[in-house]
Structure 1
Amino acid sequence: MQGLIQGLRSCWQERIKLAILRNSGGHNRKNMFSRTGSVETEEKGLENITVADVLITKGEENVGSWLWCRVNDNVDDAMKNMAQHNIGSLVVLKPGDQLHIAGIITERDYLRKIIGQGRSPKYTRVGEIMTDENKLITVKSDTSILQAMQLMTDNHIRHVPVIDGRIVGMVSIVDVVRAVVEQQNGELKRLNDFIKGEYY
């Protein structure tokens, strides 16, 4: 994963250098580049984007009680909740009023442990097929987006609960990739503006 990220950076940096040289008529513009070869800007770099930044872009309406279910809920209800809200996983809470996490249930759990085993989702409890809390991978809101991407890739998971003492939200690999692409597009736009003399 680290190699992929470094490869993407190198590719972008080379494209940017070529674009600057083409548009500058070959004038010496080395002073625009830092020692790492990237253009120095005051914008937030990819390594400084956090999970909290991603949650903010998802909007407050994307954090709510529909992000979780209870251990004793039936699987059918949990899947309907996921389908209704167009999400791929739910945090599973222990019974009671407190928000104590018991695990996570995903579309993959449903496919492997319900469909694959011929079980009835109406008569199977979430607690029977969820990924248990001792195997649960979580992040904090101040985790960098690159660390979250690395964690998800290394563990072959697509959804990670964000826990800051309590459930703050959920990020998916789609959210992470979108944040990376948007940041790269923003950086490219700033560089194009710089080349055209519109960047100050």
Structure 2
Amino acid sequence: MTKGEEKVGSWLWCRVDDPVTVAVKNMANNNIGSLVVLKPGEQNYIAGILTERDYMRKVVAQGRSPIYTRVGEIMTDENKLITVTSDTNILQAMKLMTEKQIRHVPVIDGKIVGMISIVDVVRAVVEQQKGELKQLNDYIKGEYY
């Protein structure tokens, strides 16, 4: 993988000092809306998150150059970051994401262990609903034990 297209675990990431253009190309090439931004010299400790929204508001809308702007200048910093833990259930995550109007949430258990998106949350809820509907249909048909 080339610089800016590195993957650790199940999420893609970039570094604070990467040019924004490299990070945005990485998101576009992987059809994703955010990248975890790692602390310099660290593999599992998060400095922030870079989202499409950060790019639009802090580069495009301000007329900045994505070539000369660094990720660290526009990312959502770790002290403003909204995260969940691996113990957070899907309904809690959905509520948090809806209330805060965010689409990507890092999963942190002392260090980053993953990333969830609103698509992941919707997919999980749909799967849960399918199971419940099947049980109801089986019950109605007399096939429920």
TM-score by length of 1: 0.65
Q: Which residue of structure 2 aligns with residue 151 of structure 1? A: 96
1:166 pairs, out of 105, 111, 128, with 111
Question: How far apart are the structure 2 equivalents of 1:65 and 1:148?
Answer: 18
* Greater per-residue strand proportion: 2
C-alpha displacement at 1:120, in angstroms? 1.0
RMSD across aligned positions (CA): 1.6
Match of 1:101 in 2: 46
CA deviation vs aligned residue, 1:61-107 (integer Å, no higher than 9, x gap): x9637521100001111111111221111111111134321111000
Residues 179-188 or 129-138, more deviating: 179-188
- Partner Cα distance (1:68, 1:126) in 2: 11
- 1:123 match: secondary structure: coil
Higher relative contact order (CA 8 A, sep 6+): 1
How many angstroms apart in 1 are the aligned matches of 2:42 and 2:55? 26
Equivalence for 2:70:
125
The percent of aligned pairs where both chains have the same amino acid is 80
2:133 counterpart letter in structure 1 = L
Q: Point out the structure with max Rg over C-alpha.
A: 1
Which runs of 5 or more residues in structure 1 are unaligned? 1-61
| Structure with higher helix content | 1
CA distance in 1, matches of 2:52, 2:9: 19
Partner of 1:25: none
CA–CA distance in structure 2, aligned partners of residues 151 and 183 of structure 1: 19
Alpha-carbon displacement from aligned partner over 1:130-149 (angstroms, at most 9, x marks no partner): 01111001101110111111
SS at match of 1:67: strand
TM-score (norm 2): 0.89
| 1:41-60 correspondence runs (5 A) | none
Corresponding residue to 1:194 among 112, 124, 139: 139
Q: Paired residues, what number?
A: 139
The alpha carbon displacement at 1:153 in A equals 1.1
The alpha carbon displacement at 1:184 in A equals 1.0
Shift of 1:164: 1.5
Structure 2 distance, partners of 1:146, 1:198, is 29
